[in-house]
Amino acid sequence: MDSPYAPGVIMTRTPLRVSFAGGGTDLAEFYEREPGVVFSTAIDKYIYVTVKRHGSVFNEAIRLNYSRSEQVQQVSEIENDIARECLRFLAIEPPIYVSTVADLPASTGLGGSSSFAVGLLNALHAFRGERVSAGQLAEEASYIEIDVLKQPIGKQDQYAAAFGGLNCFCFKPGGVVTVEPQRLHNGGLQSLFDSILLFWTGHQRDSSSVLSEQKANTRSKMDALLCMRGHARELQDLTADGHVDIDRFGRVLHESWLLKRSLASKITNPQIDRWYELAINAGALGGKLCGAGGGGFLLFVARPERHHAVRRALGGLKEVPVAPEVHGSQVCAPFGLAR
């Protein structure tokens, strides 16, 4: 009997993301009351997922490699929640081998968990001989993370990973999401990224506790969240003509970060506040802590001539250069070429 699965090795490449404004309005607790808006971009840092038929001579039916290795006989025995539920959702039968590697560590505020979910689903669909849309991948990943695994997260990360590019995502009652790509031209996108500085704080964090508190606080923080939604729209307006006013862009980020700090008690801490203050004093126009908070990456926007001063002020932090990624999750051709 012929196998229903594609022969050989399937690999996907899925980008991480930076969210500029509107985070928190992609939670159902917000968008079921008021439409949510998030302004974000995919970046040139990726999660790679490899899927293939596992060899029949191995003792285990399923081998899963990530930051650790799992060797089990049944899908239900897999400890990695996302991997287990993706395999179960698409009814993948053993034997199977799944491996993943990332350009940056997990739990750093760049949407890595959702990128893994999107990339694994994309690989498994290709493994089954199916080509699926970015919207389907985003919705399937959202379903697994939010509905099945009950993670206290929103839907922005799954959409950013699946679609790629610079986007304004709109979240509507009932969970409907619309994607508004931002078409910068004449070097506008590169000008924006030439102004971005991303620094690793050295602290990985579990976002669940921060997001659980933020989720519980949604009703009492509606005024702040409405302002943050407005900031996302303001950034969209700033890029509407294809150009970017970096000074205004940075000021909006600063205003939004001041509001975000108030959403939950663990979003920031004295050390993060000190780093932020040092960067602003050195000439950064604005910035934020990426993701839920508590650690991960600090992002700043500054005019290029001020970058050296900001780097010097944050000399103890490692900088990670980033560039734009216009594509979302892709199935890779041989020798790593995406298609």
* 82 and 49 Cβ atoms separated by less than 8 Å: no
* 94 and 70 Cβ atoms separated by less than 8 Å: no
Q: How confident is the model at residue 1 (pLDDT cuts 50, 70, 90)?
A: very low
Q: Domain residue spans in the chain?
A: 9-336
Within 10 angstroms of residue 310's Cβ, the number of other Cβ atoms is 22
Report pLDDT digits (tens) over 128-157: 999 999 999 999 999 999 999 999 999 999
State in words which class domain 9-336 has. Answer: alpha beta
* 224 and 256 Cβ atoms separated by less than 8 Å: no
Report pLDDT digits (tens) over 53-89: 998 899 999 999 999 999 999 999 999 999 999 999 9
Report pLDDT digits (tens) over 153-189: 999 999 999 999 999 999 999 999 999 999 887 688 9
* Helix (H) or strand (E) run with residue 260 in it: helix 246-260
C-alpha dist (Å) from residue 148 to 84, 151, 153, 172, 308: 11, 8, 12, 21, 46
Report pLDDT digits (tens) over 223-243: 999 999 999 999 999 988 777
**Mean of pLDDT values over 246-262:** 95
Q: In whole angstroms, give the CA distance from residue 54 to residue 99.
A: 11
Return the residue matching tokens 């159902």: 28
C-alpha dist (Å) from residue 170 to 42, 93, 157, 228, 258: 16, 36, 13, 13, 22
Across the chain, mean pLDDT equals 92
